[in-house]
Amino acid sequence: MPETPPETPLTGHALIASYLRMLDGSPGVYRMLDAQARVLYVGKARNLKRRVSNYAKPTGHSPRIGRMILETTEMMFLTTRTETEALLLEQNLIKQLKPRYNVLLRDDKSFPNILVTRSHGYPQIRKHRGAKKEKGNYYGPFASADAVNRTLNQLQKVFLLRNCTDATFETRSRPCLLYQIKRCSGPCVGLISQEDYAQSVREAERFLSGGSTGIQEKLAAEMQAAAEAMEYERAAALRDRIRALTNVQGVQGINPRGVAEADVVALHMEGGQACVQVFFIRANQNWGNRDFYPRTGSGAAEAEVLEAFLGQFYDEKDPPRQILLSHPIENADLMAEALGEKRGRKVELLVPLRGEKAELIAGAARNARESLARKMSEAATQGKLLAGLAQAFGLDKVPERIEVYDNSHIQGAHAVGGMIVAGREGLLKSQYRKFNIKGVDLTPGDDFGMMKEVLNRRFKRLLKEDPDRQSDAWPDLLLIDGGAGQVSAVAEIMADLGVDDVPFIGVAKGIDRDAGKEEFHRPGTRPFALRHNDPVLYFVQRLRDEAHRFAIGTHRAKRSKAIGATPLDDVPGVGATRKRALLTHFGSAKAVSRADLADLKAVDGISNTLAEMIYDYFHEKG
């Protein structure tokens, strides 16, 4: 009896059509997977059956969607109670899975804010980034740390608020340099009353809330009164404060009168690439702008790119009252509802066509167009350099990802390894990594041993997380700071790991260590050099210098942290607040370690039980 031939697995339209009988009209999220079980696309649907039936049709799709359908060998579904839930789940899965055919926001860093603390009688004003857990009033977001620092610098001149920590404030016996240069009113040593300082805080917060005009009028009146009373030094100080306030507004540039709180979001697309420019308008003030370059999912249209950007951008950020858009999106009502639920009040999505809001969009769109043009030009130059690098080093293909390694230490102390990453888009700083050297049996200053440890940890993790090399996390080229010895060490560790297809090159400074005379080392070949004026040589030098800068900076941070450490850091139950109380009471960690139990119990915030733990910790160790 002849054997029955095995059934051919369904793919594409036929496979998608086979799922229709098990779907209903519920809202939800669907995933499309390829033959290697990689997620190709994540989508949401108000009606899953209706949406999936569209993919089952053999015609009527864009080239992008057609390619995606042909590659699909499996689908997965999750139903939700509402379409809003489906939208939120879709964006979370896109960020987590990074499917090839989805639009993906690749730069998702948090934005800084200005914090006016509320935990002290004399509030501190400072930059804050991250979760808003500390008690106080937050103002932002600002587009960058530079924008915050500029504003804080001018606010110090105007309102003379302190930026020192509470611990520094409590231990000062005379005013610091900021008081001398008229950037602080000296509350730490009683040079301003708590009531007057509180008034300055209110005025600063009023400015940050958009009330700058009234503050300027008040300062101008005070300056005039001081001048009439022949208090010329006070009048000059008030004049300087008015100038500083004017400078803040001048640096901010556009300050719209009719837009109190909004994000201005403009998209420009060209050549399959996209740039989204976001301006932050708060309290009728421009608090800076930032450009983003989302991955366009192999050819998504403007509406899809912008909608996906909004969903991912506001996933962990609070949306403003209004979001001004350069292009309409398909599900504007749904997106507004989802963002409103997140904010706890109404959020409007507008595509303005006239007036001040349209002018803001036009300015943001111009910035997006110019930023994308610059990036595309830089990418073309970067592509030529990568191609030149492949030719100069005899690589089998042009590298898409280059990893550069360097170590930093002082006679073996506080040793760290640094890894930087470069590709077609230049330096990929979000993918930099630092390695605290852990080898206890390493000889101090053993650079070979340190490099072995770093590469061991890096590639063991790669082999564990992505053994089939399906992601783009695997490097196409390693650059090592060093000569034949470092290259031999790398060859040994790569052979031990069984990684034999990642090329690596040692970059040595040459005999007289002059820049421009670098020698390059590869296993089994003689050292070689590039022409002195070769652009590839300059490119490699920049990469090596960036790796060195990153490793040095990481080392210094580790060393500074170690210098500031005290034995109190290791005492169970002693956090930052109690540590500060102990140091303020006794003056030093050594004095705490020598204190008797009764003195420890007398410290504010230290319970009898904790005092006993601290006492036992130091005396048992001693």
Write down the pLDDT at residue 511.
Answer: 60
Question: 369-373, 464-468, 509-513, 526-530 — which one is most confidently predicted on average?
Answer: 369-373
In this predicted structure, the answer to whether residue 8 has a pLDDT above a threshold of 70 is: no
How many domains would you assign to the chain?
5
Q: Are residues 409 and 504 in the same domain?
A: yes
CA dihedral 33, 34, 38, 43 (to 10 degrees): -30
Q: Are residues 409 and 478 in the same domain?
A: yes
Identify the sign of the CA torsion 334, 335, 338, 343.
negative
Last residue of a domain, one of 252, 277, 299: 252
pLDDT in tens, 53-105: 999 998 889 899 999 999 999 999 999 999 999 998 999 899 889 999 999 98
User: For residue 392, is it within any domain?
Assistant: no
Among 87-96, 442-451, 484-493, which is the least confidently predicted range?
Answer: 442-451
Q: CA of 267: how far to CAs of 236, 306, 348, in Å?
A: 47, 7, 18
Write down the pLDDT at residue 401.
Answer: 93
CA distance 229 to 90: 67
DSSP string, 193-257: -HHHHHHHHHHHHHHHTT-HHHHHHHHHHHHHHHHHTT-HHHHHHHHHHHHHHHHHHHHH----S
Q: Are residues 268 and 245 in the same domain?
A: no
Which residue, 509, 545, 543, is CA-closest to 529?
509
Helix (H) or strand (E) holding 75: strand 74-79
Average pLDDT over residues 28-40: 93
Query: Do you know the residue count of the chain?
Result: 622
pLDDT in tens, 327-381: 999 999 999 999 998 888 899 999 999 999 999 999 999 999 999 998 888 888 8
pLDDT in tens, 167-209: 888 888 888 888 888 889 999 999 999 998 998 898 888 888 7
User: For residue 519, is it within any domain?
Assistant: yes
In this predicted structure, the answer to whether residue 27 has a pLDDT above a threshold of 50 is: yes
Write down the pLDDT at residue 367.
Answer: 93
The residues facing 282 across adjacent strands are 261, 285
Q: How confident is the model at residue 442 (pLDDT cuts 50, 70, 90)?
A: low
Write down the pLDDT at residue 214.
Answer: 63
CA distance 518 to 275: 38
Average pLDDT over residues 20-48: 93
Average pLDDT over residues 13-28: 92
Structural domain boundaries, residue 166: 113-252
Q: What are phi and psi of 423, to 5 degrees?
A: -155, -155
DSSP string, 281-347: EETTEEEEEEEE--B-TTT--HHHHHHHHHHHHTSSS---SEEEESS--TTHHHHHHHHHHHHTS--
CA dihedral 32, 33, 39, 40 (to 10 degrees): -60
Among 238-242, 299-303, 444-448, which is the least confidently predicted range?
Answer: 444-448
Write down the pLDDT at residue 43.
Answer: 94
Percent of the chain past pLDDT 90, that is, above it, reads 35
Q: Are residues 548 and 406 in the same domain?
A: yes
Q: Are residues 414 and 547 in the same domain?
A: yes
Q: How confident is the model at residue 523 (pLDDT cuts 50, 70, 90)?
A: confident
Write down the pLDDT at residue 564.
Answer: 53
Among 368-382, 451-465, 561-575, 586-600, which is the least confidently predicted range?
Answer: 561-575
CATH, residue 590: 1.10.150.20
User: For residue 107, is it within any domain?
Assistant: no
Write down the pLDDT at residue 308.
Answer: 93
CA distance 457 to 141: 37
Radius of gyration of the chain (CA): 30
Last residue of a domain, one of 221, 252, 283: 252
In this predicted structure, the answer to whether residue 515 has a pLDDT above a threshold of 70 is: no
3-state secondary structure string across 242-277: HHHHHHHHHHHCCCCCCCCEEEEEEEEEECCEEEEE
Is residue 548 within 8 A of residue 541, CB to CB? The reply is no
User: For residue 388, is it within any domain?
Assistant: no
Q: Are residues 212 and 147 in the same domain?
A: yes
Average pLDDT over residues 368-397: 90
User: For residue 354, is it within any domain?
Assistant: yes
Write down the pLDDT at residue 622.
Answer: 38
In terms of pLDDT, which residue wins out, 7 or 108?
108
Last residue of a domain, one of 542, 562, 582: 562
Determine the 3-state secondary structure of 396 from DSSP: coil
Q: How confident is the model at residue 1 (pLDDT cuts 50, 70, 90)?
A: very low
Q: Are residues 312 and 225 in the same domain?
A: no
Instruction: Label residue 415 left, alpha or beta by phi (over 0 means left) and psi (-120 to 50 means alpha).
Output: beta
Q: Are residues 553 and 580 in the same domain?
A: no
Q: Are residues 545 and 580 in the same domain?
A: no
> From the CB of residue 422, how many other CB atoms can be counted at a distance below 10 Å?
26
Which residue, 163, 265, 239, 161, is CA-closest to 207?
161
Q: Are residues 305 and 419 in the same domain?
A: no
User: For residue 394, is it within any domain?
Assistant: no
CATH, residue 309: 3.30.420.340
User: For residue 608, is it within any domain?
Assistant: yes
Q: Are residues 458 and 328 in the same domain?
A: no
Write down the pLDDT at residue 510.
Answer: 63
In terms of pLDDT, which residue wins out, 533 or 366?
366
Q: Are residues 85 and 230 in the same domain?
A: no
CA distance 71 to 16: 11
CATH, residue 25: 3.40.1440.10
In this predicted structure, the answer to whether residue 251 has a pLDDT above a threshold of 60 is: no
**Mean of per-residue pLDDT scores for the chain:** 85
User: For residue 105, is it within any domain?
Assistant: no
